[in-house]
């Protein structure tokens, strides 16, 4: 329909996308991570490339193939993802679709932790940098259009509105990731677009590829492309 992005709508633009989970090592054989297949983020990168943009995809560990025509930077941890994002700037549009681990083990041991008579080890955590907030609140070199995601299991709209205000991004794509929805790892997604003014637009359940195409068409329009 009219939501299809015209070919070349993003020609000459640089689009930066994060995707996938991050892995935060506990020791050389164990990590903590979020659930994320990377399907939605990778589809957005592919759709932006299809629309003619130069695309940099900063991806955590996923099993997906690289989208065609996209420069992929592979990272493992949240800190490495932030560094790769900063290295990829400037960008005209930045879309933060990654499921970043909020916390990492405070101390990583170089040797495998062994079971012992002392019982399970305690796991002290420390907070990871918030990549979206860091970039959205940059004084210099902030991409003109910064888009976040919000994964929620309850009060989706209220939580998304709070997130857009707290992080300083321009748009939030919110989705309900309760187990019953099958979003996690699935091929379909049901999203709401929440604007800075608190406006909410509900989209029907769509293939993640179609969510990506519609989102890219919207971003091209917002970027004046
Ligand atoms: N995000 C990020 N860096 C982090 C955490 C989150 O860039 N360390 C980004 C995600 O990529 C997403 C947005 O922030 O675009 C919201 O992520 P989400 O996990 O829903 O929000 P949080 O602020 O981490 O809050 P909470 O997990 O407590 O709901
Ligand atoms: Ca989080």
Strands 191-195 and 200-202: antiparallel
Q: How far is CA 14 from CA 38, 71, 96, 97, 222, in A?
A: 20, 11, 14, 16, 14
CA dihedral 54, 134, 159, 24 (to 10 degrees): 90
Token representation of residue 5: 């992005």
Strands 191-195 and 93-96: unpaired
Q: What is the pLDDT of residues 96-154, one digit of tens each?
A: 999 999 999 998 788 999 999 989 999 999 999 999 999 999 999 999 999 999 988 88
**Does ipTM exceed 0.95?**
yes
C-alpha closest to that of 10 among 69, 93, 105, 131? 93
- Percent of the chain predicted with pLDDT > 70: 96
Contact 128, 100 (CB under 8 A): yes
- Residue 101 CA, closest ligand 1 atom number: 8
pLDDT band at 185 (very low <50, low <70, confident <90, very high): confident
Which residues contribute to the annotated binding site?
Answer: 102, 112, 129-132, 149, 163, 167
C-alpha closest to that of 142 among 92, 183, 196, 79? 92
Please say if the pLDDT value at position 73 is more than 80. Answer: yes
pLDDT attached to residue 109: 81
- Identify which of 102, 127, 215 to mutate to test ligand 1's pocket (most ligand atoms within 8 A of the CB): 102
What is the residue whose two structure tokens read 């019953």?
180
Centroid of ligand 2 to alpha carbon of 149 (angstroms)? 10
pTM of the model: 0.95
C-beta of 98 in contact with ligand 1 (< 6 A): yes
C-beta of 150 in contact with ligand 1 (< 6 A): yes
C-beta of 38 in contact with ligand 1 (< 6 A): no
Taking all residues of the chain, what is their mean pLDDT, rounded to a whole number? 93
pLDDT band at 179 (very low <50, low <70, confident <90, very high): low
Active site residues: 34
């Amino acid at each position: 329909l009219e939501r299809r992005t015209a070919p070349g709508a993003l020609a000459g633009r640089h689009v930066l996308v994060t995707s996938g989970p991050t892995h935060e090592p506990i020791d050389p054989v164990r990590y903590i991570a979020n659930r994320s297949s990377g399907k939605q983020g990778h589809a957005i990168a592919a759709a932006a490339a299809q629309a003619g943009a130069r695309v940099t995809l900063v991806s955590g560990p996923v099993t997906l193939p690289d989208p065609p025509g996209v420069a992929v930077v592979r990272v493992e941890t949240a800190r490495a993802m932030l560094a790769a994002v900063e290295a990829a700037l400037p960008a005209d549009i930045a879309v933060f679709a990654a499921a970043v681990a909020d916390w990492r083990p405070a101390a990583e041991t170089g040797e495998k932790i062994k079971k012992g008579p002392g019982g399970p080890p305690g796991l002290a955590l420390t907070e990871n940098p918030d990549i979206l907030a860091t970039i959205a609140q940059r004084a210099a070199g902030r991409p003109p259009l910064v888009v976040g995601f919000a994964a929620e299991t309850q009060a989706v709209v209220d939580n998304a509105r709070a997130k857009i205000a707290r992080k300083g991004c321009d748009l939030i794509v919110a989705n309900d990731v309760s187990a019953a929805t099958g979003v996690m790892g699935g091929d379909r997604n049901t999203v709401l677009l929440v604007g800075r003014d608190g406006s909410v637009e509900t989209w029907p359940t769509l293939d993640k590829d179609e969510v990506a195409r519609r989102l890219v068409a919207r971003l091209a329009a917002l970027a004046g492309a």
